[in-house]
């Protein structure tokens, strides 16, 4: 006969209780974070200086929930100018210790400071003379004792009412890691351009790294006509090149003006214009907005938005037309 296993009966759902529980968690974790601030002092400075002097990388390690936090800290360090990666302490004792080199710095996380898998690899790390920074919730623990620098991330209580699930403790450790990363970022003079280089596929990377020359139409893709071209010729060129405009240039490709859909509409509304006999030079816009190849694509987007236009001609220092782009090119490049 199969034994019957009783399952806990859930409490009746109470809206006020749910809200109260959530607010208690937030208040508890916020208090844990506030408690970190007065602990930032000489130990924190020493940790930063150890990392700044590191000729290798920061190897971040931790087990369980501390491991998840350690992965995030490693990722944040790496993306803000401090080369770092995560090593699982369990795997480290089965070969991955070879990834840690004498020129590295190890940043170990453990709330108790007594995590077996972390403590097991410490003798190897210490024997190589690798600096060890520890973030723990117990200043009297084995890990804190063996570390060159200990950062205190202790908490008064977990947000979990059972006191079991790591909640406030992991939040405190994560914030301490963020504090390290940002302090190092500022100390290194790390800029938004540096950040973009490590995030080329992100929106910031595209905004800060993508230049006009990367997305503009060149050569035969540029719509151009001479100043004596007819309206029909200009419209045919605009249709072929699909940019909603054409540059009007002289024999040396110097920009004389631009003819756009808007110029066509204005010509159609003007009873005094002989559309059959007029040349494009009579209908074009003189002194159009232009941009240089060295400018960022986001600057083209800003220029278009400011002047309510949908296309731009790209010119060199001699005002020769070398490229063209429109809003669709910016959309395809995910700049806007």
Whether 172 and 89 map to the same domain: the answer is yes
Residue 96's pLDDT is: 76
* 269 and 177 fall within a common domain: no
- Do residues 164 and 31 both lie within one domain? yes
Cα–Cα distance, 197 to 293 (Å, whole number): 20
Looking at the structure, tell me whether residues 30 and 165 fall in a common domain: yes
Q: How many domains are contained in the chain?
A: 2
CB half-sphere exposure, 324, CA atoms < 13 A: 22
Q: 47 and 175: one domain?
A: yes
**Predicted pLDDT of residue 210:** 79
Query: How much is the pLDDT for 103?
Result: 93
The span from the CA of 9 to the CA of 7, in Å, is 6
277: domain CATH number is: 3.10.580.10
In a domain, 195, yes or no: no
Please report whether residue 142 resides in a domain: yes
Cα 304 → chain centroid = 25
Domain match, 103 and 67 both: yes
What sections of the chain are H helices per DSSP? 15-34, 42-52, 64-79, 89-92, 116-127, 142-146, 168-188, 192-197, 203-209, 212-215, 231-241, 261-269, 280-283, 297-307, 327-332
Of 129, 158, 190, the last residue of a domain is 190
Whole-angstrom distance, CA of residue 237 vs CA of residue 231: 10
Q: Which domain holds residue 126?
A: 21-190
Give the per-residue pLDDT at 201.
Answer: 46
Within a domain: residue 207?
no
Note whether 197 and 205 are within 8 A (CB).
yes
The reply to whether 38 and 156 lie within a common domain is yes
**Grouped pLDDT means (10 residues each) for the chain, 336 residues:** 56 84 95 96 96 93 95 91 90 77 95 95 91 96 96 94 88 96 87 55 55 90 94 92 92 94 86 81 92 88 89 93 91 77
> Is there a single domain that holds both residue 86 and residue 223?
no
Q: Are residues 163 and 277 in the same domain?
A: no
Distance, CA of 153 to CA of 216 (rounded, Å)? 52
- To the question of pTM greater than 0.75 for the whole model, the response is no
37 shares a domain with 181: yes
Residue 204 lies in a domain: no
């Amino acid at each position: 006969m199969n034994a019957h296993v009783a399952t806990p009966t859930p409490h009746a759902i109470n809206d006020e209780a749910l809200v109260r529980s959530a607010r208690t968690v937030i208040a508890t974790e916020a208090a844990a974070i506030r408690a970190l601030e007065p602990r930032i002092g000489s130990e924190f400075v020493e940790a930063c200086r150890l990392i700044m002097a590191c000729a290798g990388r920061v190897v971040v390690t931790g087990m369980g929930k501390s491991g998840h936090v350690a992965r995030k800290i490693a990722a944040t360090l790496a993306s803000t100018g401090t080369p770092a990666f995560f090593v699982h302490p369990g795997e480290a004792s089965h070969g991955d210790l070879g990834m840690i080199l004498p020129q590295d710095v190890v940043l170990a996380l453990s709330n108790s400071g007594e995590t077996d898998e972390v403590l097991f690899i410490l003798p190897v790390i210490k024997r190589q003379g690798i600096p060890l920074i520890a973030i723990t919730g117990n200043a009297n623990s084995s890990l804190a004792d063996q570390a060159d620098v200990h950062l205190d991330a202790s908490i008064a209580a977990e947000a979990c009412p059972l006191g079991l699930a790591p909640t406030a403790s992991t939040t405190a450790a994560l914030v301490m890691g963020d504090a390290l990363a940002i302090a190092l970022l500022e100390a290194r003079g790390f800029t938004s351009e540096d950040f973009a280089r490590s995030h080329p596929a992100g929106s910031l990377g595209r905004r800060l790294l993508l230049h006009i020359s990367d997305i503009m139409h060149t050569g035969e893709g540029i719509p151009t006509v001479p100043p004596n071209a007819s309206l029909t010729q200009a419209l045919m060129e605009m249709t072929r090149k699909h940019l909603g405009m054409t540059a009007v240039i002289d024999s040396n490709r110097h920009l004389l003006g631009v003819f756009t859909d808007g110029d066509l509409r204005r010509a159609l509304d003007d009873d005094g214009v002989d559309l059959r006999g007029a040349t494009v030079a009579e209908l074009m816009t003189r002194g159009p907005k232009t941009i240089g190849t060295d400018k960022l694509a986001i600057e083209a987007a800003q220029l278009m938005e400011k002047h309510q236009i949908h296309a731009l001609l790209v010119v060199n220092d001699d005002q020769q037309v070398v490229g063209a782009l429109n809003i669709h090119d910016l959309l395809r490049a995910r700049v806007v």
